[in-house]
């Protein structure tokens, strides 16, 4: 299974755009890149998933370069409620959670 | 929309006791996953089932077993409980999408198990 590396923590302010980059140098051909959000004592929540190029939904964008060895989750105009841990995962079905990124959004 | 249901939400057991956690996936989802998340830790994959057959196995202790039933609900059975088993146990479910074979997993609220 591909291993991921992402920053341990990030700080931002309300209204700013936040970009969290994840490295996954050993990603396999059939692996997808998926990002989850987790609040304390709650189950992880799916944010976005992609295979290559750019994917956008109503809450985030995911940028994946051609070599697929990294990906960037972009959260536009964050709010206080976006304070959470964000996990980058690669795989086909089984999810292996690594160390997520603790995003703290301040007023 | 219907979500993943887990029961019980909280469970307190003593060492060496047994516990059974239940998971009811989203309707029409055919795959169930179990995760364990200790205090301050990241979720760790335990085991998964697809169409009632074990599909993948992670770091599940031999003291634990699980199965998926004909109605697709799943149970995680935990025996000889240890203090270190105290954790949040999440169940997730997924179903094959129409466009690809990747699976978006929907997580339940979790069962908080406390072993004393």
Inspect the interface and report whether the beta carbons of A95 and B33 lie closer than 8 Å: yes
The confidence band for B39, taking pLDDT boundaries of 50, 70 and 90, is: very high
Best mutation site among A88, A94, A101 for testing chain B: the one with the most B CBs within 10 Å?
A94
Domains: count for chain B: 1
Inspect the interface and report whether the beta carbons of B55 and A93 lie closer than 8 Å: yes
Domain, as residue range, for B75: 5-115
Q: Are A102 and A6 in contact (CB under 8 A)?
A: no
Inspect the interface and report whether the beta carbons of B103 and A93 lie closer than 8 Å: yes
In this structure, what DSSP letter does residue A5 have?
B
Q: Which residues of A touch B56 (CB under 8 A)?
A: 93-94
The confidence band for B99, taking pLDDT boundaries of 50, 70 and 90, is: very low
In whole angstroms, give the CA distance from residue A103 to residue A76.
Answer: 13
pLDDT at B101: 44
At A23-79, the pLDDT tens digits run 999 999 988 899 999 999 899 999 999 999 899 999 999 999 999 999 999 999 999
More confident residue, B59 or B14: B14
Q: Which residues of A touch B58 (CB under 8 A)?
A: 94, 96
Q: What is the mean pLDDT of chain A?
A: 93
Residue A103 scores a pLDDT above 90: yes
pLDDT at A2: 54
Beta strands B74-78 and A84-91 are unpaired
Q: Which CATH superfamily is domain A9-106 in?
A: Immunoglobulins (2.60.40.10)
Residue by residue, what is the 3-state secondary structure of chain B? CCCCEEECCEEEECCCCCEEEEEECCCCCCEEEEEEECCCCCCEEEEEEECCEEEEECCCCCCEEEEECCCCCEEEEECCCCHHHCEEEEEEEECCCCCCCCCCCEECCCEEEEEC
* Alpha-carbon gap: A45 to the closest alpha carbon of chain B (Å): 7
In whole angstroms, give the CA distance from residue B14 to residue A105.
Answer: 40
Q: Are B7 and B73 in contact (CB under 8 A)?
A: no
- Residue B14's CATH number: 2.60.40.10
The confidence band for B2, taking pLDDT boundaries of 50, 70 and 90, is: confident
């Amino acid at each position: 299974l591909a291993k991921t590396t992402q920053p341990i923590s990030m700080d931002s302010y309300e209204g700013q755009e936040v970009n969290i980059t994840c490295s996954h140098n050993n990603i396999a051909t059939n692996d997808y890149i998926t990002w989850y959000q987790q609040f304390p004592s709650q189950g992880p929540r799916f944010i976005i998933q992609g295979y290559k190029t750019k994917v956008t939904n109503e809450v985030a964008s995911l940028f994946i370069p051609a070599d697929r060895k990294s990906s960037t989750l972009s959260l536009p105009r964050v709010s206080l409620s976006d304070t959470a841990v964000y996990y980058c995962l690669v795989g086909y079905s089984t999810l292996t959670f690594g160390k997520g990124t603790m995003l703290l959004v301040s007023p | 929309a219907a979500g993943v249901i887990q029961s019980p939400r909280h469970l307190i057991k003593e060492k060496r006791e047994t516990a059974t956690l239940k998971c009811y996936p989203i309707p029409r989802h055919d795959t169930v996953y179990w995760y364990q998340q200790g205090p301050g830790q990241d979720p760790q994959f335990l085991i998964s089932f697809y169409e009632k057959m074990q599909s993948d196995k992670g770091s599940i202790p031999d003291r634990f077993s699980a199965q998926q039933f004909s109605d697709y609900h799943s149970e995680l059975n935990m025996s000889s409980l240890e203090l270190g088993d105290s954790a949040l146990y999440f169940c997730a479910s997924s179903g094959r999408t129409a466009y690809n074979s990747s699976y978006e997993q929907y997580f339940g609220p979790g069962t908080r198990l406390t072993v004393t």
